[in-house]
Amino acid sequence: MMINFKPLWLTLALLFTTIVSVPSWALNVTASVSKTNISKDEVIQLKIVADEKLDGNKVSFDTLSNDFYVGRPSFSSSVNILNGTRTDSSVWTVAIAPQRLGKLVIPSFDVNGIATTPITLNVTMDEQTPTTADMVEVRTQLSKSELYPKESAILDTRIIVKVDPRMLQNPNLKKPEGSGLQMSPVSEPKQYQAVLDGVEVLIIDQSFRVIAEQSGEFAIQAPTLTGGVLYGNTRTGGTKILTLDSESPKVNITVLPIPDNYNGIWLPTSNLTLNQDWQLDGGQKVDSPTVKITTGDSLTRTVTLTASGVTSEQLPDLTLAHPEGFRVYNEKPTFRDNGDSSVTMTTKQVLIAKRSGEFVIPDLSVQWWDSLNKKSTRSQVEGMSVVVNASDETVAANYSTANPNVSDPVVVNDAGYWPWVSALFACLWIGSCYMWYRAANKPSLTIKASPSDGKDSSSIQTQLINAINQGDSIKAHAMLPLWLSDVELTHSDITAIHHEFDSMSRALDGNSDDQWNSTTLLGLISAAQKSKRSAPSPLASL
C-alpha cells in the first residue's frame, strides 16, 4: 500500500513560512546615541525609533533625570510609500548630558510592550571644562558677626556671573539658609551689566535681614545661582551643559545669650536715640523747660525713637504720662525704615489746658541693651513745667460766682434823698414792665437772645481754623464742640461740617485715597460766623 506524503510536506512548508514571517509583522523599536565615550556635561542625542505610527506619550524620559541633564524631548511620525510599499515610523529625540563620572547606563524604554536595549556610556572628565567657580562668584558682607537674641544684622550679597547670560539654562536664585536664624530679603534683587577685571559680567545684588532667634554658633549658607550653562568646546566642536552646583560661601555668626541680671523689656541694639520737641498753637517751638499758656490753649509733644538692628515690631510702646489738668489726645505711632538697618518711631501727644495752675509733665525714659558695649543703658528726655493762666472769660466767670448781686442789709438813720430816688426807679420799673407787656403781646415780634460774641468765641474760631490749616486732626476735633456751642446753625449745615471733618480725618490718617481740600470746610465755618454777626438786634425791633 502506497502512502501519500505530499499533503504533509505542504502543511510543514506552510507552517515554516508562517513562523519565519511573524517577526516581520511585530513592532521593532531601537534606542541609539551619537557616541558612548563622552566627557562629563557633554551633550549627546538619544534617539528612539519605532516602525509604527504611535502617539508621542508612549515614551517618558523621567528615569534619566537622576544621572543626566535632560533637555526638551521632540517627537515626529511619518508615513512613506515607495513602489507601493508603505513604511511607518515614530521617532523620539532628546538631548542629554551626564552629570557624574564613571559608567552610566541609559535604561531600557518600554514602547507598546517592546523594550529597548540598555546603553552604557563611559563618562570621563575633560580637564579644559570650566568649573562652577570659574563661571559664578559669590561675595558676602555681614554688618555684624556677633548678635543678641532678637537683634538683627544686614547680609549684603553679590553674585557675579562670568558667562554670557544668554547661555544660562533654567537659572534659579537660591536664597540664603541657616538654622537658628530668621532671614528675609530687604529688597528685590538688582541685576546689571558691568566690567570686572576687563571681562563683561552680570552682577546680581541683594540684601537680607538676619534676625537671631536663639543663642549659639551658626553658619549662613550664602545665596547662589543654580541651573546650567550651555558651553561650546572650540577644540572638539562639541557642546556641553555645565551644571552649576549649589555650593556657596558660608558666613559664621555668633549669638550671645541674654544676660541673667538684665531686668525690663529686652531691646538689644547697637545705637538708640530718643528726641522730642514741643509746639504751641500756630506751630511755635518751645525750647525752654518752662512754658506759660492760658486755658483752652494746646501744647503738642512729639517724641521720636530711632534704633539700629531692630524691626518696628520690636520697638516698645511709649507711654506719655500727663497731669490731670489737661485734656489729652494721643496719635497712633508711625514708623519709618531709614534704609541703613535702623527704624524710627514717632509718637505725638496733644495736651489742651482745662484749668489754671502750675503743672509738671513727667520725663520719658526707655531702657535698652547696648549690644556694642554689652551693658544696660537708659535714654531719657526731659519733661516740661507748664504754667496755665486763666483766660479773661474764665476770670470774669469766677468773679461773678464769687461776688453775687446780693448785699447785706445796712441800717440808715437818715434817709435823705434816697426815698425820692427809689420812687423814681419804681416808676421807671413800672413803665418798663408795661413796655415789655406790649412787646410780648405783638404776634409779629420775636425776641431771641443771641449768644455772646466775645473774645472767647473769636479765640476758639481762630484755634479751630489754625488746627485745620496745620492738618492737626486731633486739636480740630477738640475745638469743634466748643465752636458749635457758640454759633447757630441749621441741621444741614451741622451735617455738612461733620461730613467734612470725617473726610479730613480719613485723609490725614491715610485711610482714604482721595485728596482732601480744606476750602469747603473753611467756607462753611466762615459762612456760619457771617450769619451770626449779621443777625439783627432784638432791641432794634423795640
Residue 415 lies inside a defined structural domain of this protein:
no
| Number of domains within the chain | 4
The pLDDT score that the predictor gives to residue 411 is: 43
> Are both 273 and 200 inside the same structural domain?
no
Q: Are 524 and 504 in contact (CB under 8 A)?
A: no
pLDDT of res. 319: 86
Residue 357 and residue 291 share a domain: yes
The last residue of a domain, from among 344, 371, 389: 389
User: To the nearest 5 percent, what fractions of the chain are helix, strand and coil?
Assistant: 25, 40, 35
Residue where a domain terminates, one of 124, 145, 162: 124
Domain assignment of residue 326, yes or no: yes
Q: How many CA atoms lie within 13 A of 343 on its CB side?
A: 19
Sequence-ordered alpha helix ranges (H) in 3-94 = 6-25
The b/e string for 275-310 (b: 16+ C-beta within 10 A; e otherwise) is ebebbebeeeebeeeebebebbbbbbbebbbbbbbb
Say yes or no: 314 and 244 in one domain.
no
Decide if 478 is inside a domain. yes
280 and 223 belong to one structural domain? no
Each of the 542 residues of the chain gets a pLDDT tens digit; together they read: 455 545 555 555 555 544 444 444 578 888 898 888 888 878 888 999 988 888 888 888 888 888 888 888 898 888 877 777 788 888 989 988 888 888 999 999 888 888 888 999 998 887 677 788 888 999 999 999 999 999 999 999 999 998 888 888 888 888 898 888 999 998 889 999 998 877 889 999 999 999 998 899 999 999 998 888 887 765 566 677 777 877 888 999 999 999 988 888 899 999 999 999 999 987 889 988 999 999 989 999 999 999 998 888 889 888 888 888 899 999 899 999 888 889 999 999 999 998 899 999 999 999 999 999 999 999 999 999 999 998 765 544 444 444 444 444 444 445 555 566 566 666 676 766 666 666 555 443 333 333 434 445 567 888 888 888 888 777 887 788 788 877 778 878 888 888 888 788 777 766 666 677 888 888 888 887 665 544 444 434 43
pTM, full prediction: 0.55
- CA dist 73 and 60 (Å) reads 9
Query: What is the CATH number for 334?
Result: 2.60.40
Q: Do 207 and 292 belong together in one domain?
A: no
Question: φ, ψ for residue 482 (rounded to 5)?
Answer: -65, -40
Q: Which of 248, 226, 254 is nearest to 157 (CA)?
A: 248
Are residues 283 and 384 located together in one domain of the fold? yes
pLDDT at position 52: 85
* Residue with grid cell 541633564, as numbered in its chain: 69
User: Cα–Cα distance between 460 and 281 in angstroms, integer?
Assistant: 12
Does residue 137 sit in the same domain as residue 171? Answer: yes
Query: pLDDT tens across 86-137, in order?
Result: 888 889 899 888 888 889 999 998 888 888 889 999 988 876 777 888 889 9
DSSP state of 100: S
- C-alpha–C-alpha distance, residues 401 and 505, integer Å: 39
- Note whether 107 and 161 are same-domain residues: no
The long-range contacts involving 171-174, CB below 8 angstroms and separated by at least 24 positions, are: 171/225, 171/226, 171/227, 172/225, 172/226, 172/227, 173/204, 173/206, 173/223, 173/225, 174/223, 174/224, 174/225, 174/226, 174/246, 174/248
From CA 319, how far away is CA 220, in angstroms rounded?
A: 38
From CA 236, how far away is CA 38, in angstroms rounded?
11
Is position 539 within any domain? no
What is the full DSSP assignment across 274-313?
EEEEEEEGGG-EE-SSEEEEETT-EEEEEEEEEEES--GG
Q: Kindly state the greatest CA–CA separation across the chain.
A: 195
Task: Give φ, ψ of 128 to 5 degrees.
Answer: -90, 0
Radius of gyration of the chain (CA): 47
Q: Do residue 141 and residue 247 come from a single domain?
A: yes
Q: How many CA atoms lie within 13 A of 514 on its CB side?
A: 9
Q: What is the pLDDT of residues 293-302, one digit of tens each?
A: 999 899 999 9
Partners of 194 in the beta sheet? 201
C-alpha 181/C-alpha 213 separation (Å) is: 6
Determine the pLDDT at residue 436. Answer: 61
The position carrying cell 461773678 is: 400
Whose CA is closest to 288, among 368, 217, 383? 383
Counting Cβ atoms within 10 Å, is residue 111 exposed (0-12), middle (13-18) or buried (19+)? buried
Instruction: Please check whether residue 438 lies inside any domain of the structure.
Output: no
The domain boundary, picked from 334, 364, 389, lies at 389
Query: 152 and 105, same structural domain?
Result: no
Q: Is residue 247 situated within a structural domain? A: yes
What residues make up the domain containing 504?
Answer: 462-526
Residues 324 and 238 in one domain: no
- Provide φ and ψ at 470, rounded to 5°: -85, 0
Query: How far apart (Å, rounded) are the C-alpha atoms in residues 294 and 272?
Result: 36
Are 355 and 244 members of one domain? no
